[in-house]
Amino acid sequence: MNSISTSVLSPIHSLEVRTKFFGLLFLIPLCAFISSGYVSIFILLIVCLLIYLSKIPIRKFLALVIPYTVILAISLIFLSLAFSDGSVQNRLYIAMDLILKFSVVIIAGVLFSEVTNPNELPIGFLRFGLPHKLGISLMVALRMLPIIQDKISIIIDAQRARGVNLIWSISEIFTLPRNIMALFIPVIYSTLEVSVNLADTMLTRGYDPNRKITIPPGGLGLMDILFLIFCIALLVVSFFIEIPPR
């Protein structure tokens, strides 16, 4: 999430983190799954409009979404043809309907990651009434992922320089577990070392996970309320209106 978050000024970025959470990760996916017919297509268009309003580069967004949607589409078409009842046309219709629903979920989830800075999560946890140590832990985990990823790359290069073969092949099947352990143990040690150093740093700066902290001021603004009302209205439309395609 930290690596794909895009910091720009847009109406979607300016929403409060609780609004983005309920709207993009709960209400809109729920609308997609309870809708049918042309209403599902309408919801997908709404999500595309939100992408446009977020001012995220289209190429970047498509590069994140397309791999998941392609794998999803191939899998759902295969499963529908293999296990659904009815004619081939009916099975394909079921597959397309499921692809549409799951695509909305994927796009909304990626959009949430794009428009939400990890630093907003602890504040959101506090305003939800949850312990602040949960939000701090999540924020630190997101912040540390790129660092740990770089350390893993360094360890892989170092082990390959020492002659460890990490490529899967039939001829190396008996030595593969040993080679994996040669990678696994340094990665665990490096991760624990980073965790201990980070914990010591936070403690020396006075952070106490069991002490109460002041909740930052702020709340839902006008745009947040309008966005939530729109999502709830879309949920009502998805539940009560059914427009099957011809």
Least Cα distance to 220 among 124, 136, 134 occurs for 124
215-222 CB contacts, 8 Å cutoff, 24+ apart: 215/126, 215/127, 216/123, 216/126, 216/127, 218/16, 218/123, 218/127, 219/16, 219/127, 220/16, 220/18, 220/19, 221/16
196: helix, strand or coil: helix
The predicted pLDDT at position 153 comes to 81
The predicted pLDDT at position 169 comes to 58
Q: List Cβ neighbours of 143 (8 Å cut-off, separation of 6 or more).
A: 2, 118
pLDDT along the chain (246 residues), means of 10: 68 87 90 83 90 88 87 89 83 87 90 84 75 73 74 80 66 67 80 81 78 71 89 86 58
Amino acid at the residue 79:
L
Q: How far apart are CA 135 and CA 126, in angstroms?
A: 8
Locate the domains of the chain by residue range: 17-117+219-240, 130-204
The predicted pLDDT at position 173 comes to 63
Write out the two tokens for 237: 């439309």
The pTM of this model reads 0.71
